[in-house]
C-alpha cells in the first residue's frame, strides 16, 4: 500500500489549486481551509463556495469537463497559466469522487469552450437551452429517424439580414422563447423543415426556414462535414452569432463560433 500512497502523494505534491467537482457540502468542507486554493465546479453552487465555476452541462466526457473547468477558473483568475492543478472528480460512479487528475493550468490550448457559454452574445442560459434541445433531438431523433438541425443563436438582426426565407416563417408574430418545455417540442417538430432556426440574444425564436447566405470563402472546418456545418461556420464568422448544429449523418452536436469549431459532443453520452 505504501507504493500506492507514495504515488498518490507524488500526484498531489506542490499543487497550487484544487478543482472539486461536487455538489455535496461535506466533500467541500473536507478541502476547505487548506494551504491551496479550493475551487468548486458544479452545475449549481450548492455548497455556497466563494470560488465557483458553473458547469453549463453535466459533461460526461472527462476531458471536456476538466477543460471547461480550467478555462473557467483561468477566466475568473482563480488560477494562473503555469499553476499545477489537481482535479477531484467523478468518472465511473454517479456520485462520490473516484478520480484524481493532475493538470497544468495551460494544459489545453485555449479553445473558447468556456467563452462559448459565458461570453457569447446571447445569454448563457439561452445557449444552454439550445444545447439541450439539440442533444435531446440527437438522442431521440424525429420519430425515431435521425434528423439534422441548425440553430443560429444571438445577433439575430444581422443573421436575418444575411439570410433569406425558404418559406413562410412559422414563428412570425409569435413570442416564444427557447427553454419553455412546449417550445422545445415545437422546435423538435419543426426540425424536419429545411434551413436554419434563428434565435435572438434573449432566446426569442425569430424564424425557422432560413437559408443562410454568408460568404463561405476561406472557412476552415474539418473535412468530411457537410453543407450544414459549412453554413454554420460561415455565418458565425460573418456575425457575432453562435451556431449549434446537430449532424444528420453522424448524430454529433457541434458548436461554432467566429468560424471555428469549438465544441463537439455525442448526444448519447448525456
Partner 1 sequence: MQVDVGDVVRSLFSEEAAFTVAIIVLITGGIFAYFIWRWVHLLFERTGLNAAVEGTTFERSVSRFGTSTSGIIATLLALFVYTVSIIVAFNVARLLDFGVFWAQVTRNLPRLFIAVLAVIVGLIAGDKAKIVIKERLRSVKLPEATILGDLAKYSIFYIAALIALAQLGVATTALLVLLAAYTFGIVFLTAIACKDFLAAGAAGIYLLLVEPYTIGDEVEIGEKRGIVQEVDMFVTHIESDGEEYIIPNQRIFRTGITRIRT
Binding site for partner 1 (CB under 8 A): 155-161, 172-173, 175, 200-202, 204, 206
| Nearer CB in complex with partner 1: 119/202 | 202
| Nearer CB in complex with partner 1: 27/54 | 54
All three cell numbers of 262: 469549438
| Nearer CB in complex with partner 1: 73/156 | 156
Measured in residues, the chain has a length of 270
Minimum CB separation of residue 17 from partner 1 in Å reads 24
H helices of the chain, in order, are: 2-11, 25-31, 62-75, 113-118, 124-140, 156-161, 181-190, 227-238
Contact 74, 111 (CB under 8 A): no
| Nearer CB in complex with partner 1: 25/141 | 25
Minimum CB separation of residue 204 from partner 1 in Å reads 7
Minimum CB separation of residue 237 from partner 1 in Å reads 17
Minimum CB separation of residue 198 from partner 1 in Å reads 8
Minimum CB separation of residue 158 from partner 1 in Å reads 6
Instruction: Please enumerate in sequence order all residues whose Cβ is within 8 A of that of 217, keeping only pairs 6 or more positions apart, or say none.
Output: none
Give me the torsion for CA of 112, 117, 120, 123, rounded to 10°: 180
- Of 241, 267, 243, 242, the C-alpha closest to 253 is 267
| Nearer CB in complex with partner 1: 140/204 | 204
Beta bridge mates, 199: 153, 205
Amino acid at each position: 500500500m505504501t507504493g500506492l500512497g507514495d504515488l498518490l502523494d507524488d500526484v498531489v505534491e506542490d499543487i497550487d489549486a484544487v478543482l472539486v467537482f461536487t455538489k455535496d457540502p461535506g466533500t467541500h468542507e473536507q478541502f476547505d481551509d487548506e494551504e491551496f486554493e479550493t475551487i468548486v465546479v458544479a452545475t449549481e453552487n450548492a455548497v455556497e463556495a466563494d470560488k465557483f465555476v458553473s458547469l453549463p452541462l453535466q459533461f460526461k466526457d472527462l476531458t471536456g469537463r476538466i477543460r471547461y473547468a480550467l478555462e473557467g477558473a483561468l477566466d475568473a483568475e482563480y488560477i494562473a497559466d503555469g499553476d499545477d492543478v489537481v482535479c477531484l472528480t467523478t468518472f465511473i460512479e454517479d456520485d462520490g469522487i473516484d478520480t484524481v487528475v493532475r493538470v497544468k493550468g495551460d494544459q489545453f490550448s485555449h479553445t473558447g469552450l468556456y467563452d462559448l457559454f459565458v461570453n457569447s452574445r446571447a445569454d448563457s442560459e439561452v445557449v444552454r437551452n439550445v444545447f439541450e434541445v439539440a442533444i435531446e433531438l440527437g438522442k431521440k431523433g424525429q420519430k425515431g429517424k435521425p434528423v439534422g438541425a441548425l440553430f443560429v443563436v444571438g445577433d439575430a438582426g444581422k443573421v436575418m439580414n444575411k439570410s433569406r426565407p425558404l418559406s413562410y416563417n412559422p414563428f412570425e408574430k409569435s413570442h416564444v422563447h427557447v427553454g419553455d418545455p412546449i417550445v422545445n417540442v415545437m422546435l423538435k417538430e419543426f426540425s424536419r423543415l429545411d434551413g436554419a432556426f434563428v434565435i435572438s440574444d434573449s432566446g426569442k425564436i425569430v424564424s425557422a426556414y432560413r437559408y443562410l447566405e454568408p460568404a463561405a470563402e476561406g472557412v476552415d472546418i474539418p473535412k468530411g462535414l457537410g453543407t450544414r456545418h459549412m453554413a454554420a461556420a460561415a455565418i458565425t464568422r460573418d456575425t457575432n452569432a453562435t451556431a449549434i448544429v446537430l449532424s444528420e449523418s453522424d448524430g454529433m452536436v457541434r458548436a461554432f463560433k467566429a468560424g471555428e469549431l469549438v465544441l463537439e459532443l455525442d448526444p448519447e453520452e448525456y
